[in-house]
């Protein structure tokens, strides 16, 4: 039983405890805050943060604690948390102008300009001369295009402050730049330098003004002054490198970048810039040396290891690339370069869909990184998905407009679609970014030829010829441009020069036959025999000779020429196929089939034997058997272009054929043989069957540029033009085709189509 006295004691104790618990939160939060301030003085930031959080847990509206916590997050570089705390602190402490200023600054940086302006109005109402608020207001007005208001905000600081501050003069200069008041801007920047002569940023801003104004003499003079004044500033030498790159002085670019590395050898980014430069100018040995040394000097840096692996991959040194990749994956499995390199290996191995499975999520996980978009575009290109490839390439360019490879790929995609004008612009940009890149110049010349702008194409190709005089590709393009410009004699001379370099260059010989021996088979035969005397070991010439002899019904001589070609190139399928086709025409089908079968049986993985069998099956109309043989070849060598090309044609020609598969195969062949007119014809045929008539037309036109006016290709072009509602062009193509007396398999169909169009 509890007595009255005991009950009173219990109640007294309870009430004392209750009073104590009611008073302690206020006292405790103050204790936490006081402890935090002591820790801040001792630079014990982590301990201070814990104390401030504890205080805020006790009182979520404790503005001073949030203010101090926001300042600590700023010191630690945690912008997100600093922003959250300082915004709350400013709301809770309207008289704390520093908290309100910092909140306004964050709001301007995050694009919340309306709230920024409200806070600045609040601050300047309480203190009209608050310096930092007036400067921030000037920046706000500048960002919104209110230039006079921006200058007025600076003027409120007073002339003494303006004239004594380099930063304020710099800001004033930038406002004048926005107003396009160039002389006032220059004067302000020069005053900023005079006030703070050791401030590198003031020099850089003035330099940017001269660059914007294209004032080259002033730019160069100031740049040299910067380099002399700041000899140990890496950025100064980077600016020099940029200038020397713009003038094409690539040797000095290399020297500038080496100085940058010398100043800051521990910065891997500078090493990579230097290696990239030497790759850009084609000095691959130096690039490799720099990357190897960087990897030695800066241990276990994933950027350098990834760059060296990618370098070896580009150079075709796959074992070296794979070894470094395995090392990178083991040391830094989460590094973003790991999946990208894996995707590149898949592309190299022909596993395009596997590459896509990596690249598509990679572009989502790293939306600001252009490289995955570039390789995604390449993957789509190989699958024949031109629209998707173009979108990915455009994304890469949007993220980095200074990478010539992105523009070059876009140019190729545009030319594939026959968009020569757009392709010309992209190729020109690629060439401007990398003037030493021959491929960019060649693609630009192709675009110009497609636009029939022959003179500028001739200029570019003539300049290239001076640099690489023995390039057959440059000479063949130059000959086409010269012939297109109407200078037949000079075009023939260029073709003759090409044959001095490569006597067996079949496309050139075929073109010369068409130009100089058209309708004169004996003359063409004599010409080919003359080339054989110059290159007696070139099997291609005997193959062409066999074709010419066959056209003249010199069957035995033709078979002998094919046999000679086969002996010279045992692994080439064309001579055997030509021989087998001739035997079949002579009614010797059994001999033809036996010849191919023997080779195939002798070596089950013999691609020539299977190519021969597939060709015979196709000729006799056994498309299914031909397709089976071509698929066997693809299993042996997935990149074998002739098989991929022929298989694509057969699949596209079959009722209900898988046009997606046909497109992928045709693109594989196009990648390997970009200038082959037969491959272009096949790709055009696949596009035609898919209903992509504009793409088909582009390929057929390209094929006709690179062939002897092949009548089959011309008929395909007319079909595509008709399907694309270009009736007049189709009629022109057919009229030109049918005026020729030569026979071709689809002549009757072409005549029928012309009659229908003329109704």
> Percent of the chain scored above 90 by pLDDT?
72
575 in a structural domain = no
The predicted structure's pLDDT at residue 498: 94
Nearest Cα to Cα of residue 466 among 434, 441, 500, 449? 441
Band (pLDDT 50/70/90 cuts) for residue 620 is confident
228 in a structural domain = no
Mean pLDDT computed over 384-396: 92
The predicted structure's pLDDT at residue 483: 94
Between 529 and 639, the higher pLDDT residue: 529
30 in a structural domain = no
CA dihedral in degrees (133, 138, 143, 145; nearest 10)? 140
Write out the residue range of the structural domain in which residue 540 sits: 504-569
Angle between helices 302-314 and 284-297 (to 10 degrees): 160
203 in a structural domain = no
CATH number of the domain where residue 719 is located: 1.25.40.10
Band (pLDDT 50/70/90 cuts) for residue 709 is low
- In this prediction the pTM is 0.66
Mean pLDDT computed over 523-548: 93
**Quick check: 675 pLDDT over 70?**
yes
Nearest Cα to Cα of residue 480 among 445, 509, 506, 505? 445
318 in a structural domain = no
The predicted structure's pLDDT at residue 246: 87
717 in a structural domain = yes
Whole-number Å distance between alpha carbons of 321 and 304: 13
Band (pLDDT 50/70/90 cuts) for residue 28 is confident
* Distances in whole angstroms, Cα of residue 493 to Cα of each of 467, 470, 529: 19, 15, 19
The predicted structure's pLDDT at residue 4: 46
681 in a structural domain = yes
Between 714 and 589, the higher pLDDT residue: 714
**Final residue of a domain: which of 542, 569, 596?**
569
Whole-number Å distance between alpha carbons of 484 and 477: 10
Q: How many domains does the chain have?
A: 2
Average pLDDT of every residue of the chain: 90
**Quick check: 8 pLDDT over 80?**
no
The predicted structure's pLDDT at residue 707: 60
CA dihedral in degrees (577, 580, 585, 587; nearest 10)? -160
519 in a structural domain = yes
- For tokens 């004008």, what's the residue? 421
Residue/partner pairs of 58-64 with CB below 8 Å, 24 or more apart? 58/25, 58/28, 58/29, 58/32, 59/25, 59/26, 59/29, 61/92, 62/29, 62/33, 62/92, 63/88, 63/89, 63/92, 63/93, 63/96, 63/99, 64/33, 64/89, 64/93
**Quick check: 310 pLDDT over 80?**
yes
- The total of other beta-carbon atoms located within 10 Å of residue 548's CB is 23
Nearest Cα to Cα of residue 118 among 101, 135, 139? 101
Whole-number Å distance between alpha carbons of 255 and 259: 6
The predicted structure's pLDDT at residue 9: 44
The predicted structure's pLDDT at residue 16: 41
Nearest Cα to Cα of residue 552 among 582, 580, 508? 582
**Final residue of a domain: which of 569, 595, 625?**
569
State both tokens at 525: 């035969």
What pLDDT digit, counting tens, does each position of 186-242 carry? 999 999 999 999 999 999 999 999 999 999 999 999 999 999 999 999 999 999 999
The predicted structure's pLDDT at residue 700: 92
Angle between helices 438-450 and 454-467 (to 10 degrees): 160
**Final residue of a domain: which of 552, 569, 586?**
569
């Amino acid at each position: 039983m509890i007595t009255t006295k005991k009950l009173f004691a219990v109640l007294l104790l309870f009430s004392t405890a209750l009073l104590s618990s009611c008073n302690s939160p206020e006292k405790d939060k103050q204790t936490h805050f006081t402890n935090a301030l002591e820790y801040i003085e001792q630079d014990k930031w982590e301990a201070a943060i814990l104390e401030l959080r504890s205080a805020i847990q006790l009182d979520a509206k404790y503005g001073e604690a949030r203010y101090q916590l926001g300042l600590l997050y700023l010191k630690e570089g945690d912008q997100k948390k600093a922003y959250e705390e300082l915004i709350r602190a400013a709301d809770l402490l309207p008289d704390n102008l520093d908290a309100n200023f910092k909140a306004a600054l964050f709001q301007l940086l995050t694009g919340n300009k309306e709230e920024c302006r409200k806070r600045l109005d609040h601050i300047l109402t309480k203190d009209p001369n608050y310096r930092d608020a007036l400067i921030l207001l000037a920046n706000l007005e500048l960002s919104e295009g209110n230039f006079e208001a921006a200058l007025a905000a600076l003027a409120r600081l007073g002339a003494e402050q303006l004239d004594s501050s380099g930063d304020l003069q710099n800001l004033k200069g930038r406002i004048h730049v926005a107003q396009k008041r160039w002389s006032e801007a220059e004067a302000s920047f020069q005053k900023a330098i005079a006030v703070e002569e050791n401030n590198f940023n003031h020099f850089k801003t003035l330099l940017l003004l001269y660059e914007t104004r294209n004032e080259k003499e002033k730019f160069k003079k100031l740049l040299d002054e910067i380099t002399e004044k700041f000899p140990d500033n890496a950025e100064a030498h980077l600016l020099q490198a940029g200038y020397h790159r713009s003038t094409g002085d690539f040797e000095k670019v290399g020297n500038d970048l080496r100085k940058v590395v010398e100043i800051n050898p521990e910065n891997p980014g500078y090493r990579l810039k230097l290696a990239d430069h030497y790759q850009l100018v084609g000095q691959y040995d130096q690039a490799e040396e720099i990357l190897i040394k960087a990897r030695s000097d800066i241990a276990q840096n994933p950027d350098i290891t990834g760059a060296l692996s990618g370098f070896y991959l580009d150079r075709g040194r796959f074992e070296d690339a794979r070894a470094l990749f395995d090392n990178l994956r083991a040391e830094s499995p989460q590094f973003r370069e790991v999946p990208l390199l894996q995707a590149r290996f898949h592309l190299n191995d022909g596993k395009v869909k596997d590459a896509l499975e990596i690249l598509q999520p990679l572009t989502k996980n790293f939306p600001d990184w252009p490289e995955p978009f570039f390789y995604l575009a390449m993957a789509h290109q190989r699958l024949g998905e031109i629209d998707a490839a173009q979108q990915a390439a455009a994304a890469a360019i949007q993220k980095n407009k200074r990478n010539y490879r992105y523009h070059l790929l876009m140019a190729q995609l545009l030319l594939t679609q026959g968009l020569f004008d757009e392709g010309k612009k992209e190729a020109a940009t690629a060439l401007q970014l990398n003037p030493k890149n021959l491929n960019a110049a060649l693609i630009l010349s192709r675009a110009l030829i497609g636009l029939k702008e022959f003179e500028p194409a001739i200029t570019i190709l003539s300049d290239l010829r001076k640099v690489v005089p023995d390039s057959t590709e440059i000479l063949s393009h130059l000959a086409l441009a010269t012939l297109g410009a109407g200078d037949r004699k000079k075009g023939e001379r260029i073709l003759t020069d090409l044959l001095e370099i490569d006597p067996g260059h079949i496309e050139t010989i075929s073109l010369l036959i068409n130009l100089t021996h058209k309708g004169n088979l004996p003359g063409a035969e004599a010409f080919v025999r003359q080339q054989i005397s110059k290159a007696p070991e070139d099997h291609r010439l005997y193959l062409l000779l066999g074709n010419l002899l066959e056209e003249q019904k010199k069957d035995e001589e033709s078979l002998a020429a094919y046999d000679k070609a086969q002996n010279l190139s045992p692994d080439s399928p064309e001579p055997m196929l030509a021989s087998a086709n001739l035997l079949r025409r002579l009614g010797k089908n059994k001999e033809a089939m036996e010849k191919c079968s023997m080779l195939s049986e002798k070596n089950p993985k013999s691609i020539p034997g299977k190519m021969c069998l597939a060709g015979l099956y196709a000729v006799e109309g056994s498309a299914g058997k031909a397709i089976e043989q071509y698929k066997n070849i693809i299993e042996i060598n997935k990149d074998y272009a002739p098989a991929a090309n022929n298989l694509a044609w057969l699949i596209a020609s079959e009722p209900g054929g898988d046009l997606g598969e046909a497109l992928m195969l045709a693109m594989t062949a196009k990648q390997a043989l970009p200038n082959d007119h037969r491959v272009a014809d096949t790709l055009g045929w696949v596009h035609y069957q898919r209903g992509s008539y504009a793409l088909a037309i582009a390929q057929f036109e390209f094929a006709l540029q690179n062939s002897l006016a092949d009548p089959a290709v011309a008929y395909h072009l007319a079909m595509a033009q008709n399907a694309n509602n270009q009736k007049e062009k189709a009629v022109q193509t057919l009229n030109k085709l049918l005026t020729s007396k030569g026979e071709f398999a689809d002549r009757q169909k072409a005549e029928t189509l012309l009659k229908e169009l003329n109704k």
